[in-house]
Amino acid sequence: MSDVLIIGTVAFDTIETPFGKVEKALGGSATFASYAASFFSSPAVISVVGNDFPKDYVELLKKKDIDLEGLQVSGKTFHWDGSYEYDMNEAKTNKTELNSLENFKVKVPEKYKNIRNVFLANIDPEMQLETLKQVNRPDFVVLDTMNLWIKIKKKALIEVIKKTNVLLLNDGEARQLFDTVSLVKAANRALELGPKAVIIKKGEHGALLFTKNKHFSAPSYPLENIKDPTGCGDSFGGAFIGYLAKTKDLDEKNIRRAIIHGSVMASYNAEDFSLDRLKKLAMSDIENRYKEFQDIREF
Ligand code: AMP
């Protein structure tokens, strides 16, 4: 039985970074999130792909015991074309072909409806809301989004935030959403909407956790070989909720540990394109880098 429900995109990604280019590689927020979560828990995915989606990609996800009953098939697969310059904290969207995502109607399979942990990975906030409507009151909801939805669907996004336990944003999105340069003010405004915790991801500079009375600063990892940051936010979120689902402890101290597991996964993900680095990852790699993170913080 799955313990983490993930809605998001399963995509073809065409990506160019200063270190190379890939065309129509496997990507999408639900792909990275579920793959990262699968190291700790049993994810179940809700998304859509086209008839052009290769069987190999499906097999890759199934091999990690990711439940794909909620993966609909129709038309052509969503295609994102993005690029990065030397500052890899910000992706530039060159082209978005929605394809089958355009008419996607969320349908949560019966057997997913009692899953206790839900990750609303980056997708249209109205689809995130619809997912919450169809499930039976989960214990724990984590939400991720992107600049596009802040710009064009802010009202729906605020509605989802109100139903969320933990909100994930990157620093640029936090400033954009709450119209302030201060990340502390942005986090406080987000907490006023209902979430118990807000995590502001700062790309290669680590992540900040804000709760009502506490603040934690997760270190960044000094990554030597970085090729492609696509999917780092999604891998972070997937590992974060996967770790919490496995440990079943929502205490602030354990949330800190979950953030470091998220950071470990995101740092590995950036070492290669698509899922290429995560595909080779062993649990011992995760544990070793987790220890390195602990050392970085000791003084
Ligand atoms: P990130 O973790 O923020 O780097 O997410 C990258 C992933 O987001 C890529 O694999 C894309 O396929 C996916 N993506 C790009 N645009 C959108 C969009 N408008 N909605 C949902 N997912 C998207």
Contacts of 138 (CB under 8 A, 6+ apart): 5, 115, 116, 117, 118, 132
> Of 203 and 41, which is predicted with more confidence?
41
Cα-to-centroid distance, 299 and ligand 1 (Å) = 37
pLDDT at 68 over 90: yes
Mean pLDDT score of the chain: 96
Please give the pLDDT value at position 297: 85
Please give the pLDDT value at position 213: 85
144 lines ligand 1 (CB under 6 A): no
Handedness of CA 61, 66, 67, 72 (dihedral sign): negative
- In this structure, the residue with its CA closest to atom 5 of ligand 1 is 231
Please give the pLDDT value at position 298: 85
Compute the chain's Rg from CA coordinates: 17
Q: How confident is the model over 204-223, as a mean pLDDT?
A: 92
Q: What's the pTM value of the predicted model, to 2 decimals? A: 0.97
Please give the pLDDT value at position 220: 86
184 lines ligand 1 (CB under 6 A): no
**Cα(10)–Cα(174) distance, rounded to whole angstroms?**
25
Cα-to-centroid distance, 29 and ligand 1 (Å) = 5
Range from 71-80, 121-130, 208-217 carrying the lowest mean pLDDT = 208-217
Q: Pairing between strand 11-17 and 79-83? A: parallel
Distance (Å) of CA 11 to CA 19, 78, 270: 21, 5, 18
Nearest atom, ligand 1, residue 236 CA: 2
Q: Pairing between strand 207-210 and 215-218? A: antiparallel
**Cα(123)–Cα(237) distance, rounded to whole angstroms?**
14
**Cα(201)–Cα(208) distance, rounded to whole angstroms?**
6
**Cα(116)–Cα(131) distance, rounded to whole angstroms?**
13
pLDDT at 241 over 90: yes
**Which residue type occupies 127?**
M
Total structural domains within the chain: 1
Contacts of 9 (CB under 8 A, 6+ apart): 28, 29, 30, 31, 47, 78, 80, 101, 121, 122, 123
Tell me: the pLDDT tens digits for 103-161?
999 999 999 999 999 999 999 999 999 999 999 999 999 999 999 999 999 999 999 99
Residue 225: CATH number of its domain: 3.40.1190.20
Of 114, 142, 173, nearest to 36 by C-alpha is 142
Of 178, 247, 238, nearest to 210 by C-alpha is 178
Q: Domain range spanning residue 199?
A: 4-297
61 lines ligand 1 (CB under 6 A): no
Cα-to-centroid distance, 178 and ligand 1 (Å) = 22
Mutual angle of helices 29-37 and 55-62, in 10-degree steps? 30
Tell me: the pLDDT tens digits for 4-44?
999 999 999 999 999 999 999 999 999 999 999 999 999 99
28 lines ligand 1 (CB under 6 A): yes
Please give the pLDDT value at position 89: 80
pLDDT confidence bin for 205, thresholds 50/70/90: confident
* Distance from the Cα of residue 208 to its chain's centroid: 16
